[in-house]
Amino acid sequence: MRIDVQHWPLCAAILDSRGSEEGLRAHYATLQARLEETTGPLVALVDARRVGLHSFDRRRRQLAARLANRLKPHFHRVRAEVFLVRSVFADGVARAFLGMSPRPFPVRVSREPERALRWLHAQLPFDLEGARRALEAEADSQRVA
C-alpha cells in the first residue's frame, strides 16, 4: 500500500493496481489481510479509476463482484462503517458493495477526494487534515514519478 495510515483513527486502504487483473487481485488480498488483522471500524478509500474499475469492461466488473463477495464476511465481522469509492464510473462497484452488507453501510461515489473526505469527516471521528496531507503527498509522488 502506498500510504501509511497507521496514525489515522480508522484503518484505511488505498488500492492501486494499475488496472491489471493480477494487480487488482493482489491489492484486494492486501485489503483482506488488513481486514483480518483489524478489530476496529474500517474505512476503505478506493480510487476505482486507478484500479481500472472505471472502465465498462464486463470481465473487470465481474471480477470486482467476485472479489467483493470474497470480502463480504470480513466486512460483516469488523462492522465496516464506510466504503468510499472515488471515481466517475464507479457506481457499479458501489452497488456491489452496497449489496454485500446490511445498511447502514454508506458508499459514496465521488469524483473529488476532498468532497469525499469532507463527507467522511462529517460522519465519523476522522483525521481530515491527516487524510488531506496523505492525499497531497500521494499526488506529489505521482507528479515526480
Which residues are CB-contacts of 25 (< 8 A; sequence separation ≥ 6)?
A: 63, 67
pLDDT, tens digit, 9 for 90 and up, residues 104-131:
334 444 445 455 555 545 554 445 555 5
- What the block records as the C-alpha cell of 37 is 488483522
Average the pLDDT over 75-94 and give the result.
41
Of 64, 121, 59, 70, the closest CA to residue 87 belongs to 64
Question: Do residues 97 and 110 lie in contact, with contact meaning Cβ atoms separated by under 8 Å?
Answer: no
Percent of the chain with pLDDT over 70: 0
Instruction: Note the pTM of the prediction, 2 decimals.
Output: 0.30
CA distance 96 to 65: 6
Domains of the chain, residue spans: 11-140
Cell numbers describing residue 113: 477526494
* CA dist., res. 88 & res. 74, Å (int): 27
Question: Is pLDDT at 13 greater than 60 in this prediction?
Answer: no
Which residue, among 55, 49, 51, has the nearest Cα to 22 in the 3D structure? Answer: 51
134 vs 86 pLDDT, higher one: 134
Give the residue-averaged pLDDT of 48-53: 42
Write down the residue that cell numbers 488500492 correspond to.
Answer: 15
CA Rg, the chain, in Å? Answer: 14
Name, of 16-25, 55-64, 79-88, 130-139, the range with top average pLDDT. 130-139
Per CATH, which fold does 11-140 belong to? Answer: Protein-Tyrosine Phosphatase; Chain A (3.90.190)
